[in-house]
Protein backbone atom coordinates (compact mmCIF):
# COMPACT_ATOMS: atom_id res chain seq x y z
CA UNK A 1 0.00 0.00 0.00
CA UNK A 2 1.34 3.46 -0.89
CA UNK A 3 1.48 6.20 1.75
CA UNK A 4 2.68 9.81 1.74
CA UNK A 5 4.91 10.67 4.68
CA UNK A 6 7.66 13.01 5.71
CA UNK A 7 10.96 11.56 6.83
CA UNK A 8 14.26 12.60 8.42
CA UNK A 9 17.29 10.71 7.11
CA UNK A 10 19.37 9.24 9.92
CA UNK A 11 21.88 6.96 8.20
CA UNK A 12 22.65 5.27 4.91
CA UNK A 13 24.58 2.07 4.22
CA UNK A 14 26.03 1.07 0.87
CA UNK A 15 24.28 -1.94 -0.63
CA UNK A 16 25.47 -3.85 -3.70
CA UNK A 17 27.21 -1.77 -6.37
CA UNK A 18 24.84 1.17 -6.80
CA UNK A 19 22.21 0.91 -4.06
CA UNK A 20 21.83 1.99 -0.45
CA UNK A 21 19.80 1.09 2.60
CA UNK A 22 18.50 4.30 4.18
CA UNK A 23 17.35 4.44 7.80
CA UNK A 24 14.72 7.15 7.96
CA UNK A 25 12.62 8.46 10.86
CA UNK A 26 9.19 8.82 9.30
CA UNK A 27 6.19 10.78 10.49
CA UNK A 28 3.71 7.92 9.97
CA UNK A 29 5.69 4.76 10.72
CA UNK A 30 8.55 5.73 13.03
CA UNK A 31 11.99 4.55 12.05
CA UNK A 32 12.04 2.49 8.86
CA UNK A 33 14.70 1.00 6.57
CA UNK A 34 14.38 1.58 2.83
CA UNK A 35 16.30 -0.08 0.05
CA UNK A 36 16.98 2.42 -2.73
CA UNK A 37 18.31 0.94 -5.96
CA UNK A 38 20.63 2.69 -8.38
CA UNK A 39 21.13 5.77 -6.24
CA UNK A 40 24.94 5.60 -6.21
CA UNK A 41 25.37 6.50 -9.86
CA UNK A 42 26.82 9.57 -11.52
CA UNK A 43 24.77 11.95 -13.62
CA UNK A 44 21.81 14.24 -13.24
CA UNK A 45 19.41 11.43 -12.39
CA UNK A 46 21.30 10.42 -9.24
CA UNK A 47 19.33 10.97 -6.02
CA UNK A 48 22.21 10.38 -3.61
CA UNK A 49 22.08 14.01 -2.40
CA UNK A 50 18.65 13.39 -0.88
CA UNK A 51 20.06 10.90 1.62
CA UNK A 52 22.45 13.07 3.59
CA UNK A 53 21.95 12.69 7.38
CA UNK A 54 19.39 15.21 8.67
CA UNK A 55 17.71 15.64 5.26
CA UNK A 56 13.98 16.25 5.54
CA UNK A 57 12.09 14.50 2.74
CA UNK A 58 8.55 14.17 1.48
CA UNK A 59 8.10 10.61 0.27
CA UNK A 60 5.64 8.23 -1.26
CA UNK A 61 6.48 4.83 0.18
CA UNK A 62 5.33 1.25 -0.02
CA UNK A 63 4.66 0.10 3.53
CA UNK A 64 4.44 -3.57 4.46
CA UNK A 65 4.64 -4.15 8.20
CA UNK A 66 5.67 -7.77 7.61
CA UNK A 67 8.89 -6.71 5.88
CA UNK A 68 12.08 -5.32 7.38
CA UNK A 69 12.99 -3.40 4.22
CA UNK A 70 10.54 -1.00 2.60
CA UNK A 71 10.72 0.81 -0.73
CA UNK A 72 10.33 4.42 -1.80
CA UNK A 73 8.13 5.14 -4.82
CA UNK A 74 8.99 8.83 -5.09
CA UNK A 75 10.59 11.59 -3.04
CA UNK A 76 11.37 15.30 -2.97
CA UNK A 77 12.76 17.76 -0.49
CA UNK A 78 10.48 18.41 2.47
CA UNK A 79 12.71 21.34 3.29
CA UNK A 80 15.94 22.47 1.67
CA UNK A 81 18.33 23.81 4.29
CA UNK A 82 20.17 27.07 3.80
CA UNK A 83 23.01 26.36 6.24
CA UNK A 84 23.11 22.88 7.78
CA UNK A 85 24.88 21.18 4.89
CA UNK A 86 27.34 24.03 4.27
CA UNK A 87 28.12 25.38 7.75
CA UNK A 88 30.64 23.17 9.58
CA UNK A 89 29.36 24.00 13.06
CA UNK A 90 25.68 23.53 12.24
CA UNK A 91 26.40 20.33 10.35
CA UNK A 92 28.28 18.94 13.37
CA UNK A 93 25.36 19.82 15.66
CA UNK A 94 22.90 18.24 13.21
CA UNK A 95 24.96 15.02 13.12
CA UNK A 96 24.91 14.94 16.94
CA UNK A 97 21.13 15.27 16.87
CA UNK A 98 20.87 12.53 14.26
CA UNK A 99 23.02 10.19 16.34
CA UNK A 100 20.99 10.87 19.47
CA UNK A 101 17.79 10.07 17.59
CA UNK A 102 19.30 6.86 16.22
CA UNK A 103 20.24 5.66 19.69
CA UNK A 104 16.70 6.21 20.95
CA UNK A 105 14.67 5.02 17.95
CA UNK A 106 15.14 1.27 17.98
CA UNK A 107 11.68 0.02 17.09
CA UNK A 108 9.41 1.08 14.18
CA UNK A 109 6.82 2.72 16.41
CA UNK A 110 4.84 5.78 15.34
CA UNK A 111 5.60 8.87 17.39
CA UNK A 112 4.31 11.93 15.55
CA UNK A 113 5.01 14.29 18.47
CA UNK A 114 8.66 13.26 18.47
CA UNK A 115 8.85 13.58 14.70
CA UNK A 116 7.37 17.08 14.69
CA UNK A 117 9.68 18.16 17.52
CA UNK A 118 12.69 16.78 15.66
CA UNK A 119 11.69 18.34 12.35
CA UNK A 120 11.19 21.73 13.99
CA UNK A 121 14.52 21.42 15.83
CA UNK A 122 16.44 20.91 12.58
CA UNK A 123 14.62 23.86 11.00
CA UNK A 124 15.41 26.04 14.03
CA UNK A 125 19.07 24.98 13.93
CA UNK A 126 19.27 25.91 10.25
CA UNK A 127 18.17 29.47 11.06
CA UNK A 128 19.95 29.84 14.40
CA UNK A 129 22.46 32.54 15.27
CA UNK A 130 25.94 31.41 16.34
CA UNK A 131 25.21 32.11 20.02
CA UNK A 132 22.16 29.84 19.80
CA UNK A 133 23.93 27.14 17.80
CA UNK A 134 26.60 26.65 20.46
CA UNK A 135 24.01 25.63 23.08
CA UNK A 136 21.71 23.80 20.67
CA UNK A 137 22.98 20.23 21.33
CA UNK A 138 22.21 20.61 25.02
CA UNK A 139 18.79 22.09 24.34
CA UNK A 140 17.92 19.24 21.96
CA UNK A 141 19.12 16.59 24.43
CA UNK A 142 17.07 18.04 27.29
CA UNK A 143 13.90 18.46 25.23
CA UNK A 144 14.22 15.00 23.67
CA UNK A 145 14.49 13.37 27.11
CA UNK A 146 11.24 15.07 28.09
CA UNK A 147 9.40 13.68 25.06
CA UNK A 148 10.86 10.21 25.63
CA UNK A 149 9.55 10.15 29.20
CA UNK A 150 12.59 10.77 31.40
CA UNK A 151 12.58 14.56 31.71
CA UNK A 152 14.78 16.42 34.16
CA UNK A 153 12.99 18.31 36.93
CA UNK A 154 13.54 22.05 37.09
CA UNK A 155 13.36 22.44 40.87
CA UNK A 156 16.48 24.58 41.23
CA UNK A 157 16.63 27.05 44.14
CA UNK A 158 19.22 28.66 46.39
CA UNK A 159 18.90 25.63 48.68
CA UNK A 160 18.55 23.02 45.94
CA UNK A 161 21.53 24.04 43.84
CA UNK A 162 23.19 20.68 43.16
CA UNK A 163 22.00 18.62 40.20
CA UNK A 164 21.83 14.89 40.82
CA UNK A 165 22.34 13.20 37.49
CA UNK A 166 20.85 9.86 38.52
CA UNK A 167 17.70 11.43 39.94
CA UNK A 168 17.40 14.08 37.23
CA UNK A 169 16.62 16.79 39.76
CA UNK A 170 18.25 19.30 42.10
CA UNK A 171 18.96 18.75 45.78
CA UNK A 172 20.92 20.45 48.53
CA UNK A 173 24.55 19.56 49.12
CA UNK A 174 23.84 17.51 52.24
CA UNK A 175 21.41 15.22 50.41
CA UNK A 176 23.28 15.05 47.10
CA UNK A 177 24.52 11.60 46.19
CA UNK A 178 27.45 10.21 44.25
CA UNK A 179 26.16 11.51 40.94
CA UNK A 180 26.02 15.15 41.91
CA UNK A 181 27.41 17.81 39.58
CA UNK A 182 29.29 20.95 40.52
CA UNK A 183 27.44 24.09 41.59
CA UNK A 184 28.54 25.87 38.41
CA UNK A 185 27.39 23.13 36.03
CA UNK A 186 24.18 22.68 38.04
CA UNK A 187 23.39 26.38 37.63
CA UNK A 188 23.89 26.18 33.86
CA UNK A 189 21.61 23.15 33.68
CA UNK A 190 18.92 25.03 35.61
CA UNK A 191 19.14 27.87 33.08
CA UNK A 192 18.98 25.47 30.14
CA UNK A 193 15.95 23.72 31.60
CA UNK A 194 14.12 27.05 31.46
CA UNK A 195 14.74 27.43 27.71
CA UNK A 196 11.38 26.85 26.03
CA UNK A 197 12.42 27.95 22.56
CA UNK A 198 15.87 27.82 20.90
CA UNK A 199 15.97 31.63 20.86
CA UNK A 200 16.12 31.54 24.67
CA UNK A 201 19.59 30.01 24.37
CA UNK A 202 21.09 33.34 23.32
CA UNK A 203 20.98 34.57 26.92
CA UNK A 204 22.88 31.59 28.34
CA UNK A 205 26.62 32.31 28.24
CA UNK A 206 28.96 29.35 28.68
CA UNK A 207 32.44 28.43 27.58
CA UNK A 208 33.33 25.28 25.67
CA UNK A 209 34.47 23.40 28.78
CA UNK A 210 31.13 23.94 30.49
CA UNK A 211 29.19 22.89 27.38
CA UNK A 212 31.18 19.71 26.97
CA UNK A 213 30.90 18.86 30.66
CA UNK A 214 27.11 19.13 30.40
CA UNK A 215 26.99 17.09 27.19
CA UNK A 216 29.12 14.33 28.71
CA UNK A 217 26.85 14.22 31.75
CA UNK A 218 23.78 14.13 29.51
CA UNK A 219 25.34 11.17 27.71
CA UNK A 220 25.50 9.39 31.07
CA UNK A 221 21.92 10.42 31.84
CA UNK A 222 20.72 8.84 28.60
CA UNK A 223 22.79 5.72 29.21
CA UNK A 224 20.96 5.20 32.52
CA UNK A 225 17.56 5.44 30.85
CA UNK A 226 18.09 3.85 27.42
CA UNK A 227 19.14 0.23 27.11
CA UNK A 228 22.34 -0.32 25.11
CA UNK A 229 22.77 3.41 24.61
CA UNK A 230 26.55 3.24 24.39
CA UNK A 231 28.62 6.36 23.74
CA UNK A 232 28.09 9.33 21.45
CA UNK A 233 30.69 9.33 18.69
CA UNK A 234 29.84 12.88 17.63
CA UNK A 235 30.80 14.34 21.01
CA UNK A 236 34.49 14.35 20.10
CA UNK A 237 33.70 16.41 17.01
CA UNK A 238 31.61 18.89 18.98
CA UNK A 239 34.43 19.34 21.47
CA UNK A 240 36.58 20.68 18.65
CA UNK A 241 33.89 22.72 16.91
CA UNK A 242 31.92 24.44 19.66
CA UNK A 243 33.40 27.61 21.10
Q: Residues 15-39: pLDDT tens digits?
A: 988 899 999 999 999 999 999 988 8
Render pLDDT for 117-138 as a digit per residue (tens, 0 to 9): 999 999 999 999 988 999 999 9
pTM (global) more than 0.85 = yes
Work out the burial of residue 234: count CB atoms within 10 Å of its CB; fewer than 13 is exposed, 13-18 middle, 19 or more buried: buried
How far CA 191 is from CA of 14, 139, 159, in Å, comes to: 42, 10, 16
Q: Rounded CA gap, 226 and 230, in Å?
A: 9
- Confidence at residue 18, expressed as pLDDT on a 0 to 100 scale: 86
- Confidence at residue 17, expressed as pLDDT on a 0 to 100 scale: 84
Q: Assess contact for 189 and 171: CB atoms under 8 A.
A: no
The half-sphere exposure of 222 on its side-chain side, counting CA atoms within 13 A, is 28
Q: What is the mean pLDDT of the chain?
A: 93
Can you list the domains of the chain with their CATH numbers?
1-80 (2.40.50.140), 84-238 (1.20.1440)
Render pLDDT for 157-207 as a digit per residue (tens, 0 to 9): 999 999 998 889 998 876 656 778 999 999 999 999 999 999 999 889 999
Amino acid sequence: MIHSTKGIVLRTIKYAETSIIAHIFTELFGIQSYIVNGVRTSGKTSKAHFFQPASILEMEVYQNDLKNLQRIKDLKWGHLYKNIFSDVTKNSVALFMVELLQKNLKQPETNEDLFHFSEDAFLQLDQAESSTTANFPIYFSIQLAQILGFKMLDNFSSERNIFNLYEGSFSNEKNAGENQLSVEISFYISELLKAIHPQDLREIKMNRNARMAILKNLESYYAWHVQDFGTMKTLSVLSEILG
